[in-house]
Amino acid sequence: MNKDSDLRQLLSLPLIVAALGYFVDIYDLLLFSIVRIPSLKALHVPDDRLLPDGIYLINVQMVGLLIGGILWGIIGDKKGRLSVLFGSILLYSLSNIANGFITNLNQYVVLRFVAGIGLAGELGAGITLVAEILPKHLRGYGTSIVASIGLLGAVLAYFVANLFDWMIAYIIGGGLGILLLLLRFNVFESGMFKKAKEQLVSRGNFLSLFSSRYKCLKYVRCILIGLPFWFVIGILITFSPEFGKSLGLSVPVEAGKAVMFNYIGLSLGDLSSGILSQRLQSRKSVVFVFITLTTVLGIVYLYLMPNSVWFFYAVCLLLGFAIGYWALFVTIAAEQFGTNLWATVATTVPNFVRGSINIMTPAFLLFKTNFGTMGSAAIVGFVAVFLSLLGLWGMEETYHKDLDYNE
């Protein structure tokens, strides 16, 4: 093993560009959670509609992510990883700049949907490109670096939202996307994709993932193991001010701070899980440890929280660390399939997990009537963890897997 060569590969331009792409992705994805209340109030949404209208906007954005995940995944395998990296960031940037000039809720809904479609391509295409250009002994490190740097976009979103008006914050996000677009002109397509393109094999066929029971189960398992991640982000963190009230905290919880602390923990967790999976030479065992830690900290969040807002933020940070297997989860998903389906799987799987919030939030609101805020969250969280462990149970270990093949 040549350490200098390994370091050069881990600091290569494609990896840096992929990390910055995910940085912009996370900036926008979490910006709404941070500016949800001030932006809706500025659009004259009454106080009793802040939670339901906020959930509606998140769900609309996630529907965009679902549609975009399938669209960009297919394009990534048919036309190339770079076509996604260019197209997705352009669509995202333009919609975010336009978001800075909205005057009513309907415009907000449309642009969050379009931004969701744009955002859907970033992580999957970036992870696919990085994993294809790195040797297998560096794949875990590379994807973890992409995720740990990218996740810090939430920290920037917090500071920008505190320094500027929410509309300016959206325009800044769009501007960052345009700058990234210019940087991507120096990135080249992976050799593995070029090789697959020369072969007479079907590429990017999303429906082929359901052509056999074996493939379908493999694909569904990939989605299930990511559910606890989005339960924490989409329920516990996004609606942290409401949970703070239910906990009876004497100081109100700021959504922006909860997001910032959570994503600092998430960045550290992603880096740690990637390193740990390389050291243990196992993906599955590390995911199991992190899901278990998420379960324990979720119980602390809901039932063992003292009357201290700073303890609350500390638990948000630790929860972020616990769900810090996101890059590992996307890597596992891609490693389950051949090169001709890599982008399709790596792009659709995380966006189906994000889209699961369209099931989680209605369930959360439904159970909230009879079981209260904490009881409802506990039920949704238990189901998410149970399904993730069920998915992990029958999953193939892919650490040593050679990826240069077609389905």
pLDDT tens sequence across 102-151: 999 999 999 999 998 988 877 777 777 777 777 777 777 787 788 778 87
Confidence of residue 197 (pLDDT cuts 50, 70, 90): low
The region of weakest confidence among 80-94, 101-115, 214-228, 271-285 is 80-94
Average pLDDT over residues 294-306: 95
Q: Count CA atoms closer than 13 A to 60's CA, side-chain side.
A: 18
Instruction: Answer yes or no: pTM beyond 0.75.
Output: yes
Alpha-carbon distance of 154 to 259, in angstroms, equals 7
Instruction: Return the residue matching tokens 């992510």.
Output: 65
pLDDT at residue number 282: 86
370 φ/ψ angles, rounded to the nearest 5 degrees: -100, -25
What per-residue confidence (pLDDT) applies to 238? 84
Q: Given this model, what pLDDT does residue 39 score?
A: 93
Proportion of the chain above pLDDT 70, given as a percent: 90
Q: How far is 259 from 84, CA to CA, in rounded Å?
A: 28
* Exposure b/e, 198-230, CB count within 10 A at least 16 = b: eeeeebbbbebbeeeeebeebbbbbbbbbbbbb
Q: How far apart are CA 173 and CA 94, in angstroms?
A: 10
Q: Where are the domains of the chain?
A: 10-187+209-393
Q: Give CA–CA dist 87/94, Å, rounded.
A: 11
Among 28-32, 266-270, 313-317, the minimum mean pLDDT is found in 28-32
Query: What is the average pLDDT value for the chain, to the nearest integer?
Result: 84
pLDDT of residue 278: 82
Whether residue 345 is predicted with pLDDT greater than 60 in this model: the reply is yes
User: Which residue would you say has higher pLDDT here, 371 or 196?
Assistant: 371
Q: What is the pLDDT of residue 383?
A: 97
Mean pLDDT of the region 328-349: 79
Contact criterion met (CB below 8 Å) for 22 and 146: yes
CATH of domain 10-187+209-393: 1.20.1250.20
3-class state of residue 325 by DSSP: coil
